[in-house]
Amino acid sequence: MEAASPQPFVFRRPALARGYADALLGVGPFDRTSGLFLAAPRRTGKTTFVKNDLGDELRARGVEVVYVDLWADRQRDPAALIADAIRGALRTLDGSVVRAARRAGLTKAGLGSWVSFDLDQIGAPDGPTLTDALRAVTERAGGPVALIIDEAQHALTTEAGADAMFALKAARDALGATDKGRRLLLVMTGSHRDKLAHLVLRRDQPFFGGEVSDLPRLGRDFSDAYTAWLNARLAEGNRFEPNGVWAAFTALGQRPELLRRELERAALSEAGAPALQVALADGARALRERIWEEFDGEFGGLSPLQQAILLRIAETAEGFAPFSSASLAAYAERNGAPVSASEAQAAIEVLRGRNLVWKSARGSYALEDQELGEWLRARTALPPGRNQ
């Protein structure tokens, strides 16, 4: 007989989800009825949280949840992915409406025009708009709809994607509210706070006036629960100590996957229980250093001007103006020679090509990897061009 594959450990955060659901529905102390923007670094559990915890909480409150990950297919335009997700929701809802109608003895014709809504044309120039489609979803669902857009900042890398974001804002306003709150609830996540901020900061950005919140990282309660879960499955004498696991988890930037890998390595090593703690501490420290060594190598391989640009982005964040006189002066200082705007432009292009710098379709910039920003800020005291 084949053994059942082990259930993975998933830590739930229902209280956090309740708070966000309250804010989205406008029933708590904090108002996010115009949109909830959640940022947290890569691999820290954003998708898991919004899909499972927040999704379940919203569904439990009668909200229809539509989820779309803009990184699901990097080749496709984000606007097309959003239209797909809404189309998928309509198909599912139509199916259940038709089934319910049949059960009630109605014929398909008796359902009226909304069954024949042209799904394939959603978002097409002459087709139904996103507002039309989302209105159809709320009508069929009989309640509010939450659209969860994972890695929402990615929408801003194409014109169509940016347009889709404006269309969603228009839909949110056009669909209006009932006495129980808005009909369209918007949740957007991003692994990069600065990039997500490009949706809300300026007047010409789709959700101007919105606020980006940091999704709290998994904490001590996660690491304790995970330790207990693991220990229940490990032989006596080969068990983890909660303080050690927590220390490792923080050293690993609170990334569950990295922790799992390190604990696995330790638990499956030949050494017994006493050596386990040592292996754990060493492994986590070494791993953290390995991540940072990569940045060391990458940064060291750049020209002084390229380094100067990265540092400037890290320092000024959302306020980064690539060719302002202050920026050019800052580059020149590190570069040891004057820098023209066209030289800076060329260097930025190299950095984009190396996936170090992200640029929106509207010409805003950010570091591609937030961890690189932390590393850079920790090292701003370094002399320029030390690879020379």
Ligand X SMILES: Nc1ncnc2c1ncn2[C@@H]1O[C@H](COP(=O)(O)OP(=O)(O)OP(=O)(O)O)[C@@H](O)[C@H]1O
Per CB under 6 A, residues contacting ligand X are 9-11, 40, 42-48, 191, 218, 256-257
**Min. distance of Cβ 205 from Mg ion in angstroms?**
22
**Min. distance of Cβ 7 from ligand X in angstroms?**
11
Instruction: Give residue number: closest CB to Mg ion.
Output: 47
**Min. distance of Cβ 43 from ligand X in angstroms?**
4
The window from 42-50, 246-254, 258-266, 356-364 that contacts Mg ion (CB under 5 A) reads 42-50
Query: Based on CB atoms, which residue is closest to Mg ion, 16 or 170?
Result: 16
Selection from ligand X, Mg ion, none that 370 binds (CB < 5 to 8 A by kind) is: none
**Min. distance of Cβ 80 from ligand X in angstroms?**
20
Coil vs helix vs strand at 41: coil
Query: Based on CB atoms, which residue is closest to ligand X, 10 or 275?
Result: 10
**Min. distance of Cβ 5 from ligand X in angstroms?**
15
Question: Residue 97: how many CA atoms within 13 Å on its side-chain side?
Answer: 22
Query: Based on CB atoms, which residue is closest to ligand X, 256 or 283?
Result: 256
**Min. distance of Cβ 215 from Mg ion in angstroms?**
11
Residue-level length of the chain: 388
Instruction: Output the six-digit token pair for 94.
Output: 């139509």
**Min. distance of Cβ 190 from Mg ion in angstroms?**
9
The terminus-to-terminus CA distance of the chain in angstroms comes to 63
Selection from ligand X, Mg ion, none that 10 binds (CB < 5 to 8 A by kind) is: ligand X
Query: Based on CB atoms, which residue is closest to ligand X, 78 or 123?
Result: 78
DSSP for 254-274?
A: T-HHHHHHHHHHHHTSSS-HH
Selection from ligand X, Mg ion, none that 42 binds (CB < 5 to 8 A by kind) is: ligand X
Selection from Mg ion, ligand X, none that 9 binds (CB < 5 to 8 A by kind) is: ligand X
Under rule CB under 5 A, residue 47 binds Mg ion: yes
Selection from ligand X, Mg ion, none that 246 binds (CB < 5 to 8 A by kind) is: none
Selection from Mg ion, ligand X, none that 11 binds (CB < 5 to 8 A by kind) is: ligand X
Under rule CB under 5 A, residue 52 binds Mg ion: no
What single letter denotes the amino acid at residue 264? E
* Stretch 232-251: interaction string toward Mg ion, x if CB under 5 A: --------------------
Selection from ligand X, Mg ion, none that 117 binds (CB < 5 to 8 A by kind) is: none
Please name the residues in contact with 184: beta carbons below 8 A apart, sequence gap of 6 or more: 134, 138, 144, 145, 146, 147, 168, 171, 172, 175
Under rule CB under 5 A, residue 48 binds Mg ion: no
Cβ atoms 26, 33 nearer than 8 A? yes
The window from 43-51, 52-60, 163-171, 241-249 that contacts Mg ion (CB under 5 A) reads 43-51
DSSP for 101-147?
A: HHHTT--SGGG-GGGG--GGGTTSTTS--HHHHHHHHHHHHTS-EEE
- Measured CA to CA, the distance from residue 201 to residue 360 in angstroms comes to 14
Residues forming a β-bridge with 145: 64, 184
**Min. distance of Cβ 51 from ligand X in angstroms?**
8
Cβ atoms 105, 89 nearer than 8 A? no
Distances in Å between the Cα of 349 and the Cα atoms of 14, 153, 356, 388 are 44, 20, 10, 21
**Min. distance of Cβ 259 from ligand X in angstroms?**
9
- Measured CA to CA, the distance from residue 173 to residue 332 in angstroms comes to 47
Instruction: Give residue number: closest CB to ligand X.
Output: 45
Angle of the 325-335 helix axis to the 304-316 helix axis, nearest 10: 130
Selection from ligand X, Mg ion, none that 324 binds (CB < 5 to 8 A by kind) is: none
Angle of the 256-267 helix axis to the 273-300 helix axis, nearest 10: 130
Cβ atoms 98, 111 nearer than 8 A? yes
- By the criterion CB under 5 A, which residues form the site for Mg ion? 46-47
